Structure formats: C-alpha cells, structure tokens
Amino acid sequence: MTVRGFRTAVGVLLALAFAVTAPLAVAASWAKTQVDDTDAYVANVGGLSDDPVVRREVGEQLTRVLTAQLQVGEVPGASDVIGAVVDQVLDSDDFPTVWEEANRTAHEQIVTILRGDAAAADGDVEISLADLYNLAAERMRAEGLPVADRPEGSLTFRTAPPQRLEDAQGAYQGLVAAGTWLPVLALVLLVGAIAVPAGRSRLTALLVGALGTVITTGLLLVAVAAGSEIAGLQVRGEDRALATAVIDALLDSLRDRAWIVIVVALLAFVGSIVALVVTGRAARRRPRTLPPPV
C-alpha cells in the first residue's frame, strides 16, 4: 500500500469513528446538562405550566382534593364553584411559579440521590404542588365554601422511583465525565479525518463520515423515542401523563441537537459530493504534461 493509500484508509477509519462518536457526544453532553444542572432542567420544563396535558392533570387532582376537603355536605353549585376556582388558580401568575419551584425541588432531590446521598433516598421523588391547594382554599373560603387544610401527601406527582435512581448512581458518574470528554474526542476524530488524507481523499473521508453521522444520529433519534416510552412506563399510572409531558419536554432539546447534527452532516455530505465531482472534472480537463523527448 502506498503512503497516499494508507493515509486515505486512516482518514476513512477516523471518519467512521467520528460518525459513531458524534451522536454519543451529543447525547452525553445533553444528559450532563439536564441531569447535573438544575437551572437547565427548570428552563426546559418551566414552560409546561401552559401545556394542556399538565394543566388537565393538575386541575383534575386539585379538583379531587378540594372536593374531598370540603367541610360541608351537599352544597348546591359547589362543583361549579370548585371548577371556577381551579381554573382561576391555573390561570393565575402563581401557577407557573409554583410549577417551577416544585420541579426545582424534585430535580435537586434526584441529583442528591444520584450523587450517593443515601438519606435523600427515603420516600418517593415527587413534584409537590401543595401551594396550589393553599391558593385554591383561600378562594374557596372567600366564596363561602370552607375547606380543611390540605392532607399530607396530596397534590403530588411521582416522577421517579428512588430505587432506580440509586441503581443509576454509577452510570451518573460516568455520564458526567462522558459529557465532558466525548465532545472533545469527537472533535479530535473529525480534525484527524480531515487532516490525515491528502487531496481528493480528504473529500472521500469527509463524505464517509458525513453519511455515517446521518445514519448513527438517526438511530439516536429512534432510541430517544423508544426510551421516552420506556421511561413513561416506569411511572405509576395516575401520574404517567404528567411525567410523560415532563420527559418529552426534556427530550425536545436532545432531539433539536440531534437534528442540527443531521442537517450539518447532510450539508457536508452533499458538499463533499459536489466537490468530488468538480475536482474530478477539473482533473480530467487539465492538460497532461508530456515527458521531454529523448
């Protein structure tokens, strides 16, 4: 094998390695941000206070709790008053604030468990919206319908079984590290795939790497869809709709990153083909230099 052929082979291998590493780097950097950074997590799920699924689930549970805590018997029109109060609370400026703070507290509990704090693993990890009940109770009393104090444990949504979080502590440590070094490794492989080959072989390596990246990142999107379904099934049935909405909100940012990688890779793939065609035609048109006569 000639030196040129060897460099071409190495460049193609580096391009293929990049194609495998790129989606892993995207997933690891995303996961490191979402798992380890509470502010980033809250920024992604905070907007769910306007999500119809979240509002429906919270409204239904708030209605059930208010009805159960009503301290009088059958009151004509009580259900209408409760419904109006629940709508007022969900439409108020307080709901987004309560939602964000509840998610912040839940995420901090998850991170604490993942970091190995055994004391934090006692009990369920929940999104507690207890403050919404207090707001609704005040409005109910103003309407002349006395309600009792909120019972312990009501108006909460379980998000993750602590046992599974404890089992994931080892993976969490690896994830935090991978989110830092995998993107660096991917960048090194890309630079090597471009720098090692010479001439048109560089375009060939880029073409192979781009096509491979489109395929592997597409597989990542398939895995994300399957993982979303599986994660939702880990949550108890009555909380599944809300938990699924939270999971989807988190995964949206991963999907966005994956699609950006796919688009860039497709552009690189098309650009490589165009460059190969153009340089091939230029080489064919270039006049050959004849050897001097003997």
Of 4, 1, 36, 2, nearest in space to 196 by CA = 4
The per-residue pLDDT for 74 is 65
Q: What is the pLDDT of residue 222?
A: 92
Residues of the chain with confidence (pLDDT) below 50: 120-121, 290
pLDDT of residue 120: 47
**Cα–Cα distance for residue pair 246/46, rounded to 1 Å:** 9
- Residue 115 to residue 186: CA distance in whole angstroms: 27
**What is the greatest pairwise CA distance in the chain?**
118
Per-residue DSSP letter, 155: S
Task: Using alpha carbons, list the distances in angstroms from residue 99 to 103, 105, 106.
Answer: 6, 10, 11
DSSP 8-state code for residue 50: G
